[in-house]
Structure 1
Amino acid sequence: MQKAKLLVALLGLCMAVALPSQAQRASRLTAEWEYVQQDLGGVWEAVRPVGAGNPESVPFWQPVALPHCFNARDAVAPSANYYQGPGWYRTQLAVQNPYANGRTRLHFEGAGQKTDVYIHTTKVGSHVGGYDEWTVDITKAVADFQKTEAYKEQFKGKIPLSIRCDNSRDLEMLPSNLSDFNVYGGLYRYLNLEYRPALSLERLSAKAEVDAAGKTGSLLLKASFLPTSTPSSSPVPVVVRLLDPRGKQISKFQGTLPVTAEEQDIHRFALKNPKLWSPAQPQLYTVDVTVGTGAEAYHQQEKIGFRHAEFVEKGPFKLNGQRLLLRGTHRHEDHAGVAAAMTEPMIRQEMVMMKQMGVNFIRLGHYQQSRIVLNLCDSLGILVWEEIPWCRGGLGGPVYQAQAKRMLTNMVQQHYNHPSVIIWGLGNENDWPGDFPEFDKQKIRAFMTELNDLSHQLDRSRYTAIRRCDFCKDIVDVYSPSIWAGWYRGIYTDYKEATEKEFQGVKRFLHVEWGGDSHAGRHSENPDNALAEITASKEADERAGDASLFGGSARVSKDGDWSESYLCNLVDWHLKEQETMPWLSGTAYWPFKDFSTPVRPDNPVPYMNQKGVVERDFTPKEAYYVFQSYWTTAPMVHLYGHSWPVRWGAEGELKMVKVYSNCAQAELFVNGKSYGVKKRDSQNFPAAGLHWNVPFLTGNNQLRVVARQGKETVEDNLTFGYQTQPWGKPAKLTLQKVAEANGQTTVEVKLLDAQGVQCLDAVNWVEFSLAGAGKLFDDLGTSSGSRKVQVYNGRAIIRLHAQPGKTAVAVQSPGLEPVLLTL
Structure 2
Amino acid sequence: MIKYFCVFVVLGSLLGLTPAEAQESKRLNHNWEFLKQDLGGIWEAVRPVGKGNPESVPLWEAVNLPHCVNATDAVDPDVNYYQGPSWYRTTLDVVNPYQNGRTLLHFEGAGQKTEVYVYTTKVGSHVGGYDEWSVDITDAVNAFKKTEVYKKQFKGKVPVSIRTDNSRDLELIPSDLSDFNVYGGIYRYLNLVYTPALSVDKIFAKAAVDAAGKTGQLGVKARFYNPDKISSGTLFLKLVDPAGKVVAKIEKKVNNLSNDTELWDLQVKKPVLWSADQPLLYTLQYEIQSSAGIAKGTEKIGFRNFEFVEKGPFMLNGKRLLLKGTHRHEDHAGVAAAMTENEIRKEMVMMKDMGVNFIRLAHYQQSRIVLNLCDSLGIMVWEEIPWCRGGLGGDVYKEQARRMLTNMIEQHYNHASVIIWGLGNENDWPGDFPEFDKQKIRAFMKELNELSHQLDISRSTAIRRCDFCSDIVDVYSPSIWAGWYRGNYTDYKGVSEEEFKKVKRFIHVEWGGDSHAMRHSENPDKVLSKIKTGMGADERAGDASLFGGAARISKDGDWSESYLVNLVDWHLKEQETMPWLSGTAYWPFKDFSTPVRPDNPIPYMNQKGVVERDLTKKEAYYVFQSYWTTQPMVHIYGHSWPVRWGEQGEEKMVKVYANCTEAELFLNGKSFGVKKRNSQDFPAAGLRWNLPFVQGENVVSVIAKKGKVTVKDEIKFTYQTEKWTKPVKLTLTKISQQDDIATVEVKLYDDKNVQCLDATNWVNFSLAGDGKLIDDLGTSSGSRKVQVYNGRAMISVKLNKGKSVVAVQSEGLPVAFTNL
**What range is the shorter-chain TM-score in?**
over 0.9
Secondary structure of residue in 2 paired with 1:391: coil
How far apart are the structure 2 equivalents of 1:227 and 1:385? 33
In the alignment, which residue of structure 1 is the partner of 2:443? 446
In the alignment, which residue of structure 2 is the partner of 1:552? 549
Secondary structure of residue in 2 paired with 1:442: helix
In the alignment, which residue of structure 1 is the partner of 2:785? 788
8 Å CA contact 2:66–2:338 kept in 1: the answer is: yes
CA shift, 1:535, in A, is: 1.4
How far apart are the structure 2 equivalents of 1:293 and 1:275? 34
Superposition pairs of residues 498-537 of structure 1, within 5 angstroms: 498-537=495-534
Amino acid at match of 1:28: R
CA shift, 1:55, in A, is: 6.8
How far apart are the structure 2 equivalents of 1:686 and 1:288? 52
Change (3 A) 1:89 1:694: same
CA shift, 1:79, in A, is: 1.3
8 Å CA contact 1:20–1:375 kept in 2: the answer is: no
How far apart are the structure 2 equivalents of 1:133 and 1:444? 27
1:309 aligns with 2:306: yes
Secondary structure of residue in 1 paired with 2:427: strand
Secondary structure of residue in 2 paired with 1:431: coil
TM-superposition CA deviations, 1:673-704 (whole Å, max 9, x none): 00000000000000111000011010000011
TM-superposition CA deviations, 1:336-381 (whole Å, max 9, x none): 0000000000000000000000000000000000000000000000
Superposition pairs of residues 557-572 of structure 1, within 5 angstroms: 557-572=554-569
Change (3 A) 1:54 1:808: closer
Gaps of 5+ in 2: 1-17
CA shift, 1:257, in A, is: 1.3
Amino acid at match of 1:85: G
How far apart are the structure 2 equivalents of 1:310 and 1:632? 24
Secondary structure of residue in 1 paired with 2:807: strand
In the alignment, which residue of structure 2 is the partner of 1:225? 224
CA shift, 1:713, in A, is: 0.4
In the alignment, which residue of structure 2 is the partner of 1:63? 62
Amino acid at match of 2:385: I
In the alignment, which residue of structure 2 is the partner of 1:216? 215
In the alignment, which residue of structure 2 is the partner of 1:94? 93
Amino acid at match of 1:92: T
8 Å CA contact 1:497–1:538 kept in 2: the answer is: no
CA shift, 1:294, in A, is: 9.2
How far apart are the structure 1 equivalents of 2:22 and 2:262? 19
Secondary structure of residue in 1 paired with 2:813: coil
TM-superposition CA deviations, 1:233-279 (whole Å, max 9, x none): xx321111100012221111111112422111110111111110001
How far apart are the structure 2 equivalents of 1:55 and 1:529? 63
CA shift, 1:53, in A, is: 13
Choose which of 490, 494, 498 in structure 2 pairs with 1:497.
494
8 Å CA contact 2:329–2:363 kept in 1: the answer is: yes
Structure 1 ranges of 4+ moved more than 4 A: 52-56
Secondary structure of residue in 1 paired with 2:705: strand
Secondary structure of residue in 2 paired with 1:761: coil
TM-superposition CA deviations, 1:506-534 (whole Å, max 9, x none): 00000000000000000000000110100
8 Å CA contact 2:197–2:226 kept in 1: the answer is: no
Amino acid at match of 1:193: L
Choose which of 698, 709, 714 in structure 1 pairs with 2:711.
714
In the alignment, which residue of structure 2 is the partner of 1:743? 740
Superposition pairs of residues 201-212 of structure 1, within 5 angstroms: 201-212=200-211
Superposition pairs of residues 100-111 of structure 1, within 5 angstroms: 100-111=99-110
Greater Cα offset, 28-37 or 246-255: 246-255
Secondary structure of residue in 2 paired with 1:376: helix
TM-superposition CA deviations, 1:591-646 (whole Å, max 9, x none): 00000000000000000000000000000000000000000000000010000000
In the alignment, which residue of structure 2 is the partner of 1:117? 116
Greater Cα offset, 112-121 or 51-60: 51-60
1:820 aligns with 2:817: yes
8 Å CA contact 1:498–1:538 kept in 2: the answer is: no
Superposition pairs of residues 354-369 of structure 1, within 5 angstroms: 354-369=351-366
CA shift, 1:742, in A, is: 3.1
Amino acid at match of 1:201: V
8 Å CA contact 1:364–1:387 kept in 2: the answer is: yes
In the alignment, which residue of structure 1 is the partner of 2:194? 195
1:641 aligns with 2:638: yes
In the alignment, which residue of structure 1 is the partner of 2:8? none
Choose which of 377, 385, 389 in structure 2 pairs with 1:380.
377
Choose which of 478, 483, 489 in structure 1 pairs with 2:480.
483
8 Å CA contact 2:516–2:780 kept in 1: the answer is: yes
How far apart are the structure 2 equivalents of 1:186 and 1:506? 40
How far apart are the structure 2 equivalents of 1:292 and 1:803? 57
8 Å CA contact 1:20–1:371 kept in 2: the answer is: no
How far apart are the structure 2 equivalents of 1:325 and 1:778? 40
Change (3 A) 1:348 1:267: same
TM-superposition CA deviations, 1:120-172 (whole Å, max 9, x none): 00000000000000000000000000000000000011000000000000000
Secondary structure of residue in 1 paired with 2:264: strand
Amino acid at match of 1:761: D
Identity %: 72
TM-superposition CA deviations, 1:526-548 (whole Å, max 9, x none): 00011010011251000000000
How far apart are the structure 2 equivalents of 1:294 and 1:403? 37
In the alignment, which residue of structure 2 is the partner of 1:156? 155
How far apart are the structure 2 equivalents of 1:381 and 1:241? 24
How far apart are the structure 2 equivalents of 1:566 and 1:753? 26
How far apart are the structure 2 equivalents of 1:368 and 1:89? 23
What is the root-mean-square deviation in Å for CA atoms of aligned residues? Answer: 1.3
Secondary structure of residue in 1 paired with 2:142: helix
8 Å CA contact 1:747–1:797 kept in 2: the answer is: yes
How far apart are the structure 2 equivalents of 1:520 and 1:269? 53
How far apart are the structure 1 equivalents of 2:782 and 2:406? 40
TM-score normalized with structure 1 length: 0.97
In the alignment, which residue of structure 1 is the partner of 2:583? 586
1:779 aligns with 2:773: no
Superposition pairs of residues 240-251 of structure 1, within 5 angstroms: 240-251=237-248
Amino acid at match of 1:555: R
Secondary structure of residue in 1 paired with 2:324: strand
How far apart are the structure 1 equivalents of 2:672 and 2:662? 13
8 Å CA contact 2:603–2:785 kept in 1: the answer is: yes
8 Å CA contact 2:740–2:800 kept in 1: the answer is: no
How far apart are the structure 1 equivalents of 2:759 and 2:534? 31
Superposition pairs of residues 584-623 of structure 1, within 5 angstroms: 584-623=581-620
How far apart are the structure 2 equivalents of 1:569 and 1:702? 23
Amino acid at match of 2:131: D
TM-superposition CA deviations, 1:410-448 (whole Å, max 9, x none): 000000110000000000000000000000000000000
8 Å CA contact 1:225–1:259 kept in 2: the answer is: no
In the alignment, which residue of structure 2 is the partner of 1:168? 167
Superposition pairs of residues 20-419 of structure 1, within 5 angstroms: 21-51=20-50, 57-232=56-231, 235-292=232-289, 296-419=293-416
How far apart are the structure 2 equivalents of 1:821 and 1:649? 31
- Aligned pair count reads 803
Change (3 A) 1:803 1:124: closer
Greater Cα offset, 383-392 or 265-274: 265-274
Secondary structure of residue in 2 paired with 1:297: strand
Change (3 A) 1:467 1:572: same
Choose which of 730, 746, 750 in structure 2 pairs with 1:733.
730
How far apart are the structure 1 equivalents of 2:169 and 2:349? 36
8 Å CA contact 1:389–1:427 kept in 2: the answer is: yes
TM-superposition CA deviations, 1:94-119 (whole Å, max 9, x none): 00100111100000000000000000
How far apart are the structure 1 equivalents of 2:280 and 2:145? 48
Gaps of 5+ in 1: 1-18
